């Protein structure tokens, strides 16, 4: 039997909200031909909210929360 102490398990849970930006005068707002989204991430435990200008910013934040796990977050 192994009596070595085990590292603590780190677990985070988030609620992700993506909302398409709509202009009352002309419908969907686009940037470079793609719809613009507002991105909000909320911690389920602390209820802290973070806002991101784009999905790349969201992924960068999540990568920073799990150092050493960059390979798991590869996009594309």
Supply the pLDDT for residue 73.
53
Strands laid side by side in the 14-20 sheet:
14-20, 37-43, 49-52
Q: Are 67 and 44 in contact (CB under 8 A)?
A: no
Total domains in the chain come to 1
pLDDT of 27 higher than 80: no
* Domain that residue 51 falls in: 14-58
Q: Is residue 44 part of a domain?
A: yes
Position 32 in a domain: yes
What integer best gives the mean pLDDT of the chain? 79
Does residue 41 sit within a domain?
yes
- To the question of pTM greater than 0.95 for the whole model, the response is no
24 or 43: which leads in pLDDT: 43
Query: Is residue 22 in a domain?
Result: yes
CA distance 54 to 76: 16
| Pick from 31, 9, 6, 7: nearest CA to 20 | 31
Look at residue 16 in the predicted model and tell me its pLDDT: 94
Q: Identify whether 71 is part of a domain.
A: no
Q: Does the structure show a pLDDT above 70 at 36?
A: yes
| 47 falls within a domain | yes
pLDDT above 80: residue 51: yes
Domain for residue 31, yes or no?
Answer: yes
For residue 2, tell me if it sits in a domain: no
């Amino acid at each position: 039997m192994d009596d070595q102490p085990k590292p603590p398990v780190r677990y985070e849970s988030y609620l992700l909200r993506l909302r398409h930006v709509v202009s009352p005068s002309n419908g969907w707002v686009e940037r470079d031909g793609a719809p613009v989204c507002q991105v909000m991430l909320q911690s389920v435990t602390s209820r802290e909210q973070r806002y991101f200008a784009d999905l790349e910013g969201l992924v960068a934040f999540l990568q920073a929360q799990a150092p050493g796990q960059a390979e798991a977050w590869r996009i594309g």
